[in-house]
């Protein structure tokens, strides 16, 4: 059974989509840990509803980033995590975590990178008047939404689209495709079995 962790800071709709797909398709894998840097986040309730263990912490209560990343690593080891899936984790991954899990951390970003990195990517794309928006799944390095691209999906923006409808299209793309990319990276076949 492959074990992976999801890191999230807020709502957690991607977390929910990933766990739901994994269960529906009976993957030979599990989310063994949710890591969350916001004690008020809705994603914590979602994890509890699925009985998934979570490590929720307050960055402020640690001396610095290496200190809280060491605490995260301890939890990741305890839960035998092989892959880290960032899904709305609003924090740059630091050296400590990168050294321990380099090449095993992926992120989803709501734009066609390298366009519109950073926060409010959908708003930036909307205000730029793009005709095609989309999502990117990529490996994480020390930069902000940099790192080798694994997969991208695009959606056309129509005349009648508003910021809200574009956000909705983007979320639909994320919920559909992120689980598929994770499944492939875990080395599971289309039936969710280990190959
Ligand atoms: C997603 O749009 C993701 O691309 C970005 O943060 C958002 C998280 O949404 N990195 P949710 O918390 O999964 O609903």
Q: What is the pLDDT along the chain (195 residues), one digit of tens a residue?
A: 999 999 999 999 999 999 999 999 999 999 999 999 999 999 999 999 999 999 999 999 999 999 999 999 999 999 999 999 999 999 999 999 999 999 999 999 999 999 999 999 999 999 999 999 999 999 999 999 999 999 999 999 999 999 999 999 999 999 999 999 999 999 998 778 877
Q: How many structural domains does the chain have?
A: 1
- pLDDT value, residue 193: 83
Q: Supply the pTM of this predicted model.
A: 0.96
Q: How far apart are CA 156 and CA 165, in angstroms?
A: 12
Q: Which CATH number do you get for residue 100? A: 3.40.50.170
| Beta carbon of 134 within 6 Å of any ligand 1 atom | no
194 occurs within a structural domain: no
Q: Identify whether 79 is a catalytic site residue.
A: no
Instruction: Label residues 156-188 b or e (16+ Cβ within 10 Å = b).
Output: ebeeebeeeebbebbbebbbebbbebbbebbeb
132 occurs within a structural domain: no
Q: How far apart are CA 96 and CA 105, in angstroms?
A: 13
20 occurs within a structural domain: yes
- pLDDT value, residue 194: 79
Residue nearest to atom 5 of ligand 1 (CA): 88
Query: Given the CA of residue 107, which atom of ligand 1 is nearest to it?
Result: 10
Cα angle: 21, vertex 45, 13; to 5 degrees = 40
157 close to 121: Cβ distance less than 8 angstroms? no
- pLDDT value, residue 191: 77
31 occurs within a structural domain: yes
- pLDDT value, residue 175: 98
| Beta carbon of 53 within 6 Å of any ligand 1 atom | no
Distance 14 CA to ligand 1 centre (A): 6
The two tokens of residue 122 are: 């959908």
Q: For residue 149, with 0-12 CB atoms within 10 Å meaning exposed, 13-18 middle and 19 or more buried, which class applies? A: middle
Q: How far apart are CA 92 and CA 147, in angstroms?
A: 12
Q: Which range of residues forms the domain containing residue 7? A: 2-107+137-149+173-185
145 occurs within a structural domain: yes
90 is in an annotated binding site: yes
- pLDDT value, residue 189: 80
């Amino acid at each position: 059974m492959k074990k992976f962790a999801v890191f999230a800071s807020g709502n957690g709709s991607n977390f929910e989509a990933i766990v739901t797909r994994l269960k529906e398709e009976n993957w030979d894998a599990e989310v063994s840990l949710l890591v969350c840097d916001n004690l008020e986040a809705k994603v914590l309730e979602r994890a509890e509803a699925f009985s998934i263990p979570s490590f929720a912490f307050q960055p402020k209560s640690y001396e610095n980033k290496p200190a809280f990343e060491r605490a995260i690593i301890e939890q990741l080891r305890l839960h035998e995590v092989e892959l880290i899936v960032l899904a709305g984790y609003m924090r740059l991954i630091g050296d400590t975590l990168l050294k321990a899990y380099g090449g095993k951390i992926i992120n989803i970003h709501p734009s066609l990178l390298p366009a519109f990195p950073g926060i409010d990517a959908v708003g930036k794309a909307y205000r730029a008047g793009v005709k095609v928006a989309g999502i990117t799944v990529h490996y994480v390095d020390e930069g902000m939404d940099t790192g080798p691209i694994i997969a991208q999906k695009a959606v056309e923006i129509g005349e009648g689209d508003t910021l809200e409808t574009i956000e909705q299209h983007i979320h639909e793309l994320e919920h559909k495709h992120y689980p598929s990319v994770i499944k492939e990276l875990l080395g599971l076949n289309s039936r969710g079995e280990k190959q």
